[in-house]
Structure 1
Amino acid sequence: MAVALYNGFPLVEGDTGSYIASGIEQSVPPDRTPFYGLFVRITSMWASLWLPIIAQCLLLTFVLRRFIRSFFTEALPSNILLLIVLLITSFTCVSWIAAFLMPDVFAGILLLSILLYLPNKKKNSFSGIVYLLIITLCIIIHNSHFLITAAFASLILVYALFTRNKILILRNTAMIAISVSFFFLVHFINDNNGNGFAFSKNSYQFMITKFAETGILKNYLDDNCDKKHFAICSFRNEIPPVSWEFLWSDYSPPYRAGGWEAHRAEYEYIIHDVFNTAKYRNLFIQKSFIYSLRQLVTFNVPDVCTFHGPDSQPYRYIKLYFEDEIGAYISAKQNNGGFHGETCNIFYYVYFALSVAMLLFLFPRLMTTEVKFTYACVLIFLLVNAFVSATFSTVINRFQSRVFWVLPALNTILIVKYLYYQYSAKLESPDTQKEIR
């Protein structure tokens, strides 16, 4: 929230305009879930785009507070809780993630809710139901979340089956069931709104773009254009090196060849052929592994927040539906070249390195079975998130930073807990009591 306040307006991405439009117009986008748009519509109350930011920050605060308290066996003093929250918001990128009018913040909320839901020892507790409802909300808010949750829960389910942990088996099965249900729900929603019975009407565009980014498309076209004469073959030597240019630019090969929809059948054929040909399939697997590793370590906040002017979707839809806020949007630092994240990134990297070093020093005293399980879950989730993002989309910082901040936050909680208990024990020692008297 602090980052948005400093900016003078909630931060926006290019997709923000689409979310605003789909929510206010109650339309279903062909390439994304409609639910974050509905979240913006409901929470903004047609009054202000600050209200969705406040709403997602309140939900984040609720879950983070519960997560912090879960590590303390007794009542946690409010000053210690406040200290932990201040450290997390000051020295991790969560303040940036929460400041964007985007569904990214819900990925971190999803991870925290899962970490609260899985170890809950009571089978049918009220808190467990609340966490599951929050998990459900987070799953439906973005297309990638269902696959990340299903893959993560499947891996933990294997562990639960080996250890015969009935509660873990039930809870991971529940998360898988919710993810699968959402997958089919989106199919029906799209079919009912003219987008066809598919999870995403434009999924073929993103996959072809992935082939272009990784060099697979150029490789495939070089091998096949002499025989199959695809429309895009005329531009096989002009494939842009970055995904967003290939996907969106008016000068990209798909648009110069007549547009995406004009040759949809050809693109779907290429996708089918790539995955059914060992040479290209193996190359895709290799590239997926490499790009996943790249995504895993790409978790910085933006060095420069992109300017979105009058020709952009965010500007257009803010002016159309929240006209009284267009002045604040135009004058925001993001749109005037005065909002950079380089310095923040340095602080975040240094803080993370220091917290890891302190944990390694304190390792034997802090690593209980429960803590090890929590760290394992966080690391698995980060790996799954990186794999899903890099394999089916592209490598950009916000896809990993949206969840990475949970790791230094966890480090912070454990370090403060250790120091707090050490200080409390010292206060309770006989020698200290004598000094006080």
Structure 2
Amino acid sequence: MGGSHISTQTLRARTAANSRSAWIAAIAIPLMLLAPALWNGYPLLQWDTGGYLARWYEGYLVPSRSTTFGLYLHFGEDSSFWINLGINALATLWILQLTLRVLGISEPLRLLAMSLVLALTTSLPFLASTLLTDIFAGLSVLSLFILVAHGKRTSIPEKCLLFGLTAFAAATHSATLAVLLGLCCVGWIARPFLRGRISVSALTQGSLTIVAGAALLLSTNFALSGKLAWTPGGYGVAFARMLQDGIVAQYLRDHCPKQNFKLCPYRDQLPATADQFLWGSSMFNTLGRFQGLGDEMGFIVLHSLAEYPAWQAKAALTATAQQLVYVGTGEGTNGWLGHTYGIIERFLPAQVKPMRAAQQQRWHFDFTAINRIHIPVALASMLLAVVLFGRGVLRRRFDDLTLLAGTVSFALLGNAFVCAAISGPHDRYGARMAWLATMVVLIAAARQFAGEDARDRSLPPRQEVDDPDLVDLVADRAHVIAVRNVEHLGTRNDLPERRG
């Protein structure tokens, strides 16, 4: 009785301490994630923000601007978009906590420490503080991982939220949808080799998030524009990347004598980069932009793929390799965002004054010093994540850490290929995913520090703990041993009653 009393008191004390730590983490982590916006005095804006904001008001489809994300921003307008940033931060907190929980290392102080390191060394707080789709690119990779690899360790409401978050993220950006689709394909291919770690039903659920995301995007496109169509612009963006690689100029030289393209008179005056062509003062504007050149750009893209397959493959692989090292924070988040400012002034005049008063609009943001930390950390983390995955594969140890490292590694590679091959390498595309690798490294370090017995010790799916206060406690090494010893003794003592 005395020993039982002491153990109960100890458990209650640890539960109370964990409860206090959980409240501290729940308050501190969102504040850390939104620190850039709080210092700025207004949500951070980016080159592309205005295009998303305008979707509700303009009522038609434009290239590469998801109406789903446009509606998401519209719902937060009355709060000057602080509701959107709050959702960004809370979704990030939830996904980080849930990831650690299913991996069996969910102590609040550990979550707080990891979040602090991520906030100081990665782009994560800037992603959460910016009115852009990028925060959901990384979160959706983790939500898909949990849903597929650890769905049995989550409740039904959590599964529904994970499914909804993944589908919403897929609908906010075509590149995110492509990365998630690629991860599902890898999962189906790898499943026979994973010794039952992933079930058919879990992979089916994960794959259905892609279908749901596509349906959501088509629905919002129809609701706002009256057209049941995909977001336009894919051919135009790919065309610009091929122009930057010199493929378009060569195609025009080969075919202009025979085919009357609108671009033929300009074939010797093409800009050097995709950004100059699409967003600068180029013949693209003169010829009607996407509406005037859309069909011609699509024709050239498809036919140049057929005529120069080796060149196209080499250009795509080169761009992918470049994208993997383009991980700087802050691209497009500077003090001059003419289109975005114009959209806010036109449709949200009440927000012009606070927007103009923000630090960003007064050119007080400089990412030079920040990237002296972020870029080395991102590159080192990506390399270590691949090493962790490779070591697990070589040892044929497909534990939780190996699966997570593999998921993140494939997500980084898929993101680099999709973004670079279509749009060309940009720091923004790399920075929105690189923090995932840093998180993998931090999880590996936490497990190493906790010791061998703490690795891969999350509760098996068949075990349930009714008391929510004990869920986090049983993940601790000492309590895992204690619980298992009690179970062992209980099994041995379950003997038939002696007959008198």
Q: How much has 1:260 moved relative to structure 2? A: 4.1
Residues 351-388 of structure 1, C-alpha deviation per residue, up to 9 Å, x if partnerless?
A: 45776899989x899x8722111101110011011111
1:56 equivalent to 2:84? Answer no
Q: 1:231 to 1:350 in 2, by over 3 A?
A: closer
Aligned residue for 2:75, secondary structure, equals: helix
CA distance in 1 between counterparts of 2:84 and 2:151 reads 33
What corresponds to 2:326 in structure 1?
298
CA distance in 1 between counterparts of 2:110 and 2:329 reads 27
CA distance in 1 between counterparts of 2:222 and 2:174 reads 16
Residues 192-248 of structure 1, C-alpha deviation per residue, up to 9 Å, x if partnerless?
A: 765865423333322321221221101111111122131211111111122122113
1:155 to 169, 176, 186: 186
Q: 1:351 to 1:226 in 2, by over 3 A?
A: closer
CA distance in 2 between counterparts of 1:133 and 1:26 reads 27
Q: Which moved more, 1:6-15 or 1:165-174?
A: 165-174
Q: How much has 1:100 moved relative to structure 2? A: 1.0
2:79 to 42, 47, 68: 47
Aligned pair count reads 415
Within 5 A, what are the aligned runs for 1:130-279? 130-163=161-194, 165=196, 167-183=198-214, 186-187=217-218, 190=221, 198-249=229-280, 251-257=281-287, 259-277=289-307
Q: How much has 1:139 moved relative to structure 2? A: 1.2
Larger Rg computed on CA atoms: 2
Residues 14-40 of structure 1, C-alpha deviation per residue, up to 9 Å, x if partnerless?
A: 2211212224x3834332321111111
C-alpha RMSD over aligned residues = 3.2
What corresponds to 1:3 in structure 2?
36
TM-score, normalised on structure 2? 0.74
What corresponds to 1:69 in structure 2?
101
What corresponds to 1:429 in structure 2?
none
Unaligned runs of 5+ in 2: 1-33, 455-475, 479-500
Residues 42-89 of structure 1, C-alpha deviation per residue, up to 9 Å, x if partnerless?
A: 234x2312221121111111111211233335xx44333222211111
Within 5 A, what are the aligned runs for 1:20-35? 20-23=53-56, 25=57, 27-31=59-63, 32-35=65-68
Q: 1:303 to 1:38 in 2, by over 3 A?
A: closer
Decide whether the 8 Å contact of 1:295 with 1:386 is kept in 2: yes
CA distance in 2 between counterparts of 1:66 and 1:124 reads 9
What corresponds to 1:431 in structure 2?
none
User: What is the identity, as a one-letter code, of the residue corresponding to 1:301?
Assistant: T
1:371 equivalent to 2:401? Answer yes
What corresponds to 1:38 in structure 2?
71
Residues 121-156 of structure 1, C-alpha deviation per residue, up to 9 Å, x if partnerless?
A: 529841333322221121112222221111121012
Q: 1:229 to 1:295 in 2, by over 3 A?
A: same
Q: 1:123 to 1:130 in 2, by over 3 A?
A: same
2:419 to 381, 385, 389: 389
User: What is the identity, as a one-letter code, of the residue corresponding to 1:410?
Assistant: V
CA distance in 2 between counterparts of 1:353 and 1:299 reads 8
What corresponds to 1:432 in structure 2?
none
CA distance in 2 between counterparts of 1:357 and 1:151 reads 21
CA distance in 1 between counterparts of 2:379 and 2:243 reads 35
1:315 to 341, 349, 355: 341
CA distance in 2 between counterparts of 1:83 and 1:188 reads 41
1:325 equivalent to 2:351? Answer yes
CA distance in 2 between counterparts of 1:314 and 1:110 reads 26
Residues 277-319 of structure 1, C-alpha deviation per residue, up to 9 Å, x if partnerless?
A: 2xx233222211111111111111137832235xx23212333
Unaligned runs of 5+ in 1: 427-437
Residues 320-357 of structure 1, C-alpha deviation per residue, up to 9 Å, x if partnerless?
A: 44434322321322222221112111122444577689
Q: How much has 1:161 moved relative to structure 2? A: 3.6
Q: How much has 1:174 moved relative to structure 2? A: 3.0
Decide whether the 8 Å contact of 1:27 with 1:34 is kept in 2: no
2:361 to 335, 344, 360: 335
User: What is the identity, as a one-letter code, of the residue corresponding to 2:352?
Assistant: I
Decide whether the 8 Å contact of 2:171 with 2:216 is kept in 1: no
